[in-house]
Amino acid sequence: MIKSTDATGKASVTFTLDPAVGAKRAAVCGEWNKWSKRGHVMQRDTAGGFSLTVELEPGRAYRFRYLLDGERWENDWAADAYVPNEFGSDDSVVDLTALVATPAPKKKAPAKKAAAKKSATKPG
């Protein structure tokens, strides 16, 4: 998983699955999308795996799992943690508690051209 924050204060998390999972379709299901099986469908990448970037609120941890081919649940092999769920298995966790929103850089006002005006005064 790759995690970063953007100017909007959201955390961008890129979820990836290795081609070794042997799936034709994959989705990321988690607390942020109420475990929707259709909400975050992953795209196949050039290596044959899957990836998807999701924007989440920083400052907390989220449980999630991958749903492969609409029927097989898998955890993330590089999750930040694993937490037991009510189905007798574990959920993967992406931990964004250490991420803080990065404010957008302030644009500087254009420098005044006073020095240029002084040197360009009319001869008199």
Domain contains 73: yes
Would you state the pLDDT for residue 44?
Answer: 95
pLDDT attached to residue 34: 94
- Report the pLDDT value the prediction gives residue 54, as an integer from 0 to 100: 93
Q: Which contacts (CB < 8 Å, 24+ apart) does range 71-75 have?
A: 72/23, 74/17, 74/21
Q: Does residue 124 fall inside a structural domain?
A: no
CATH at residue 11: 2.60.40.10
What pLDDT was estimated at residue 9? 75
pLDDT at 109: 55
What is the pTM assigned to this prediction? 0.75
In a domain, 39, yes or no: yes
Q: Which residues of the chain have pLDDT under 50?
A: none
Q: What pLDDT, on the 0 to 100 scale, is given for residue 118? A: 54
* Tally of domains within the chain: 1
* 23: containing domain: 2-119
Is the residue at 44 inside a domain?
yes
